[in-house]
Structure formats: C-alpha cells, structure tokens
A = this chain, B = another copy of it.
Amino acid sequence: MKPPILYSGLALDRSHRLRRDADLAELVARPTARFAPYWRGRQLLSDTPTAVVWLDRDQIPATIDPGQAPCLLLGEDSEGPLLALDISAVPGGEDGPDLRLGQWVGLRSVGSRLPASDAALLAYARGMLVWRDRTRFCCVCGSAVVIADAGHSARCADPDCAALHFPRTDPAIIMLVTDAEGRALLGRQPAWPPGMYSCLAGFVEPGETLEEAVAREVREEAGIQVISAAYAASQPWPFPSSLMIGFTALAEGGPPTADPHEIEDVRWFRRDQVAAFGEFNAPGPDGLFLPSRDSIARVLIERWLEGVLEKPEPNR
C-alpha cells in the first residue's frame, strides 16, 4: 500500500548533529536562522500558494525574544537552521497577531491543501511545541526543567535528580475490521459530529504488542473477537502527541456491543453502504459520513472500498 498519508513526507534534514553540538542560543542568533511561528495552536501560512511562512529574525514580533520564548531546532537546509518558535505571548484577536505575512490557521483545517512536506513540518513543529509547553517541570521530583539538545530534551534542574525527559509520542492502533462476509466494523464516539462513523482505535498499553492492542480494543469497544491483524501504514498525529498505527483485522462476525463509556454506536456496514457515505458537509443516506480526509482512518476506509487494503491472513 502506498497511501497518501498526510503529515508524513518531511523533506528536511532533522540534523541530529546540530541538535547535539550546537547551542540553541547560538542557532537562534545566526543571521541565516529562519523561524516557523506558532501562536496558540495555530501556524502562520501564506495564501497563494498555501505554504509555511518562515520568518527571518527581523520579522519576529519585537516583544518576542527567540532566546527566551519556546523555540526549538527543526533541522537545517542548505541556507541554515530552521526553527519552530512559539509566540503565543503576543496579544492577538480572533485572527491572531497581524504579521502581514499570512494567516494563522489550525493545522487540521488546512492539512491537505499544503505541500506534503509543509504539512509534515507543521505536524513535527506542533508535536514538539506542545510537548515543550507541557514539560515545564520534572515529573519525578517537581523541580523546573532546563531545555537541552536544541529544544529536543529537558533535564531536571535539581542536580540530585537530573532526570532526562524526551518528547512524548503515544502509539495508538487504528483498525479497519472486517468479517467473513466482507463487512466493515465502524463506530462513533459521542464527541464526534453526529453522523460520522470511523475505524475503532485506542492507545497501546504497557505489556502488549500492537496486534494484542488491536484485539483488546475491538473486544472492549465492540465486543467482537479479532482473528488476525495485519499492519497497513502509520501516521504522525500531533493532536496532541499520537502516532497512529493502522491495521486491517479479520474478526468473527455477530452483533457488536458498544462500550457505553467510549463508543456511542458501532455497526457492521456493507461495502455499498460505506460507499454511499458522504462528507461532513454533504452526508449520505441517514446522514452518515466518513472521517476527515486528513486521517489515516479515511485512508484505510478508502483503500478497503477500492479493494486494495492488505488482507490479514486468517491463520496468523
């Protein structure tokens, strides 16, 4: 499978060399440094074409000192270091601070209109900045942390503790489950817009393989027994810090039972039924529609509709 997985395809050298050897303050001070700004969950994008806006040092709002604001090295290209810079401290109205360079946009609202590498870059920047924002204190001893490795690690400031903390990525499995009749098991969470049905998913727990997590979640959320599972693809999902690991699974049929604490409804759908699902703005029969095009769930469902999704072997 060669899925068009959004938020993947970064065309940038992450430069572990610079991360390790260069001082963040020194990187920030380089005249060649460029900054992708981030403001309260949104990123700055140009209009035509829709693309990341890179700020030179003199384009950074005067109230922001990139040596003090949350800032980290994304990587480097032939021109110099590329950094992510959180300027959330700048005041701004509904449209965000006006830098006269573009618009402040939430990544998920624009994802698929971006060049693939820009979408991946913003996903990477968002994931790192959210981690940074939530990693101010040492979870072991409660002391403040000091940022190191050009923004890619945090060290407890108490020398007696000195615990190291690294960006967190939570592995989650997401699965297109089918039965022997070729139907797909789709469900919906209460928080989703009414009518949206998607793949079941959940976080991997300590002490289980990916395949075991797939079987456990399908059993817990739908009361359905998985027979076998096959890996399909993965997707970085920085909302806020997941790695979605997509599987296809073959399951025993029978009526599903939704876990009322997690799932509002779960059903077996025939292929022709799912093919008639619409979009959020144009639902299909009974008001049903597919998840957003930026999600791996959508990719798995579309590949299944096209008949090109990996099939798990029944005897695995």
Contacts and interface: CB of A to CB of B under 8 A. Distances in A.
Given A14-B216, A210-B234, A210-B245, A165 B139 contact: yes
Given A171-B243, A207-B7, A134 B139 contact: yes
A142 B140 contact: no
Interface in A182-216: 203-212, 216
What interface size band does chain A fall in?
35 or more
A231 B171 CA distance: 15
Given A14-B216, A142-B142, A206 B136 contact: no
Contacts of A205: 14, 124, 167, 169
Given A16-B220, A212-B8, A204 B141 contact: no
A100 interface: no
A282 B7 CA distance: 47
Contact of A169 (B14, B136, B170, B211): B170
Contacts of A216: 14
Given A10-B212, A206-B236, A136 B131 contact: no
Contacts of A136: 139-142
A144 B203 CA distance: 25
Interface string A30-68: 000000000000000000000000000000000000000
Interface in A225-261: 231, 233-236, 238, 241, 243, 245, 259, 261
A128 B209 contact: no
Interface string A270-282: 0000000000000
A144 B137 CA distance: 11
A209 B9 CA distance: 8
Interface string A121-141: 101110110010011111111
A207 B120 contact: yes
A169 B171 contact: yes
16 contacts: A8-B208, A14-B216, A16-B220, A20-B261, A120-B208, A124-B207, A127-B206, A131-B206, A136-B141, A137-B139, A137-B141, A139-B165, A169-B171, A169-B205, A171-B245, A208-B236
Interface of A: 2, 5, 7-10, 14, 16, 20, 120-121, 123-125, 127-128, 131, 134-144, 163, 165-171, 203-212, 216, 220, 231, 233-236, 238, 241, 243, 245, 259, 261, 316
